[in-house]
Structure 1
Amino acid sequence: MLLGYGNSSVRIKLQDGWEVLRPNELPPAHDGEIERALDSPIGAGLEDLSGRSAAVIVSDITRPSPSHRILPPLVRRLKGVGVKDLRVVFALGTHRRMTEDEVRHLLRGCVRLPHFQHDASRCVHLGETSKGTPVEIFDLVESSDLIIGTGNIEYHYYAGYSGGAKALLPGVSSERSIHHNHMMMREPRARSGFLDSPVRQDMEEAAGIAGLDLILNVVLNSRKEIVSAVAGDYIKAHRAGASVVDRMYLREVKPAEIVITCAGGRPKDINLYQAVKALENAKGAAAPGGTIILLAECAEGLGNRVFERWARECSTPEECVERFAREYEFGGHKAAYIAELALRNNLVLVSSIPRDVAEMCFFTPVRTIEEALELAWSAHGRDARTVLIPHGDLTLTRTG
């Protein structure tokens, strides 16, 4: 079996008795799926809106959302309802700015549309949520008559699911807004696959204050094909898309001593900061004391300076978890998350990250999947119950 690894793949030899958690994927939708969603909105549609200017928020290079396919029909419809001034805004959140090559890759035939990258230093204060999160939005978005959020819906390890209001917060919000919102990830229900995650609820309240008019989201399969699209209200349409994700990727499983999970290849394993999402999805399949093997190239290393600093400053997992309980810092949450899991399970990382850096992040580093398996077998035996999750970036495990 081939597992995604960067821009290529790694072959793993299946052993007798392994349980392979394959998703129940839907086939690709017809070419007109995005148009169908726009024609059948869930809640208010484009025809219910009016304005001369529109900001269309699209995902950055760390997400697989096919903006080059979403934009053409959406732009045509916006022009049809009288929009004259249209701007495409990349939702960077706190991610790095993209290169021009990355922008061209994402937009492709739409590259001539006016496009901008989010600038967190140019945000306008609009109010606060009931949880005290300041709603501060990029001025190019805030000044538009219409705000449209696009993206893909999949599991997210503290917002429950991606997509929907997440395009606005954190996508085009200030660092202060993002920081306050993300502090809620420490709450018990801030978990993958939970729609009532306090983080998501806060995001959706912020979207109401900022005036997110409509979303156009897609659900992708593991081949990054569009299987469904939803448009309309940023809560109702999002929930419809989330139900499609559950149908394909929510799997009940009996806990195993060895779990092998794949982050999904590029862009999901572009760095460890992104690839850790596969651990969140896989942890439900691992018995306490078991071994979780994460396959993720991480060509760009750790991917976040604060994450790296926390990993360097905390010498043990216990120290990192204790620090996060008393001191929230965005980026540090990722180190604390790995540390907490490292206290429960043995974590083995197959990547291109230098050995000392992987160890600093509480992983046992190896270079090949074969080496990882030998470590797991030495700890648990070759007859240990083993679960393989080929699409760990997408598949959410829960004990049944």
Structure 2
Amino acid sequence: MTHPQLVTIDKKSAPRVAFAGDKLVFVDLPEGSRVLYPKPPIAELRDVDAAIRYAVTHPENSEPLYAKLRPGMRVVIAIDDLSMPLPPMRGPDVRERVLTVVLELLAQYGVDDIEMIIATAFHRRMTAGEIKHMVGSKIFNAYYPDRLANHDAEEHSNLIELGTTPEGEVVEINKTAATADLLIYVNLTFVPMNGGHKSVVTGLSGYKSLKQHHNPKTTREGNYMDPANSGLSNKFQRMGKIVDDNVPVFHIETTLNNRMFDRPLEFLGKNEDSLSGTERAALKGLVFSLDKMPQALRGAVFDKFPAPYGVTGVFAGATEATHEK
């Protein structure tokens, strides 16, 4: 059975190109090897900002975001960190677009006690430049660093235990977020395991919580890219329900397509056998040039071409209902 994304290598096949760190290398695969290519990108939304406004006004299993707002309340906005997507997204990042709509709505309803937390879990902290790229200059200049900062999973004074699951899993998250009048979580779902209950119980967790699910035993319990049959996902579900029982959370989840490369690097996403003469020459030139460049310059080359992902969906509301969409 043939598959449009599956190529079987034969004598006439061109060498494949693979990433090797920040270089590219040509690889001659044995005959009979199968190479899987990504499906074409899903069509992106025509008006992303309108989709965001619609999502927060017509949420899943929740009253609209505006109905939750009142002057004088304290709102915390948690934001997925730069670990997704990879490579980084061309600006404006969808998280910036969501934040812009949300902050405008908060201002309209007299909410000005706002703090934003980058949900890094135990990832490295994002740099100021990375945060600025993700949230945009306007938001960065207005909130950083006093009201826009990385989550610190090792600042024990700002962690709070919300409870323990029947299976003994401790739920410990960021205290500033947990004690807010409203926690808004801005998510970017790039793979099936992202989003839903995972957002808070991982991104805003302390070590007591993270060790419950980020361990070798749990990762062996099914495929974590298949949430329904994943031990990892099951733990997120149990722990996340304790979060929802104790913290007023409003989720905003977004999805992207897989358009990783644009001109002049568009050929990197194509089957090598289908490249035109011009594309083949450009590919050879890129492979040769990257090999000769110093590491710092190689990184700069790819930094100049962030991925032109398209936003394919925006949904908001209660944790499980939003993620199910």
Instruction: Give TM class, smaller chain.
Output: 0.5 to 0.7
Tell me the residue number matched to 2:66.
47
Q: Give the deviation of 1:190 after TM superposition.
A: 5.2
Secondary structure of 1:219 counterpart: strand
Distance 1:39 1:68 in 2: 18
Q: In the alignment, what sits opposite 1:225?
A: 310
Over the aligned positions, Cα root-mean-square deviation in angstroms equals 2.8
- Which residue identity lines up with residue 22 of structure 1 in the other structure? P
Aligned residues: 236
Structure 2 stretches lacking a partner, 5+ long? 1-15, 86-92, 260-308
Structure 2 CA distance, aligned partners of 1:152 and 1:8?
27
Q: State the Cα distance separating 1:14 from its structure 2 match.
A: 9.8
Q: Map Cα deviations across residues 2-49 of structure 1 (whole Å, 9 max, x no partner).
A: 767777866779999755433253112123322232232112131342
Moved more, 37-46 or 78-87: 78-87
- Asked if 2 retains the 8 angstrom alpha-carbon contact of 1:153 and 1:218, the reply is yes
Report the Cα offset of residue 200 of structure 1: 2.8
Unaligned runs of 5+ in 1: 241-400
Report if the CA contact (8 A) 1:215-1:237 is conserved: yes
Q: SS of 2:214's equivalent?
A: helix
Task: Give 1 or 2 for the bigger CA radius of gyration.
Answer: 2
Whether the aligned pair in 2 keeps the contact of 1:217 and 1:231 (CA below 8 Å) is: yes
Does residue 29 of the first structure (1) align with residue 50 of the second (2)? no
Q: 1:278 — aligned with what?
A: none
Change (3 A) 1:229 1:175: same
Structure 2 residue 321 is matched with structure 1 residue 236: yes
TM-score (norm 1): 0.53
Between the aligned partners of 1:82 and 1:107, the Cα distance in structure 2 is 22
Greater share of strand residues, 1 or 2?
Answer: 1
| C-alpha distance in 2 between matches for 1:87 and 1:61 | 19
Cα deviation, residue 99, structure 1: 1.9
- Change in CA separation of 1:13 and 1:118 when aligned onto 2, cut-off 3 Å: same
Partner of residue 179, structure 1: 211
**1:90 pairs with 2:118:** yes
1:15-164 → structure 2 map (5 Å cutoff)? 18-31=34-47, 32=49, 33-44=51-62, 45-51=64-70, 52-64=73-85, 66-109=94-137, 110-111=139-140, 112-113=142-143, 114-120=147-153, 121=155, 122-155=158-191, 161-164=193-196
From the superposition, tell whether residues 199 and 3 of structure 1 become closer, same or farther in structure 2 (CA, over 3 Å): farther
With a CA cutoff of 8 Å and minimum separation of 6, indicate the structure with the bigger relative contact order: 2
Correspondence list, 1:332-371, <5 A: none
Aligned-residue offset at 1:79: 2.9
Post-superposition Cα deviations, 1:260-309, rounded to whole Å, max 9, x if no partner, equal xxxxxxxxxxxxxxxxxxxxxxxxxxxxxxxxxxxxxxxxxxxxxxxxxx
Judge conservation of contact 1:59–1:91 (CA < 8 Å) in 2.
yes
Supply the AA of the counterpart residue of 2:310: E
Aligned to 1:194: 227
1:211 paired with 2:247, answer: yes
Match of 1:166 among 174, 198, 202: 198
Change beyond 3 A, Cα 1:29–1:8: farther
- Matched with 2:278 is none
**Offset at residue 88 of structure 1 (A):** 0.9
Secondary structure of the 1:218 match is: strand
Shift of 1:236: 0.6
Partner of 1:389: none
Listed one character per residue, the Cα deviations across residues 336-386 of structure 1 (whole Å, up to 9, x for unaligned) are xxxxxxxxxxxxxxxxxxxxxxxxxxxxxxxxxxxxxxxxxxxxxxxxxxx
Q: Percent identity?
A: 23
| SS of structure 1 residue aligned to 2:173 | strand
Distance 2:57 2:19 in 1: 35
Opposite residue 125 of structure 1, the aligned amino acid is E
Distance 1:11 1:151, change over 3 A: farther
Distance in 2 between residues matched to 1:36 and 1:3, nearest whole Å: 41
Contact in 2 for aligned 1:89/1:117 (Cα 8 Å) = yes
Query: Shift of the alpha carbon at 1:226?
Result: 0.8
Write the letter of the residue equivalent to 2:111: V
Per-residue CA deviations over 1:161-204 (Å, capped at 9, x if unaligned) read 20122221111111111112334624633521223532332342
State the alpha-carbon separation in 2 of the partners of residues 70 and 2 from structure 1: 36
SS in 2 for 1:161: coil
- TM-score norm. by structure 2 comes to 0.64
1:307-326 residue pairs with structure 2 within 5 A?
none
CA distance in 2, matches of 1:145, 1:37: 21
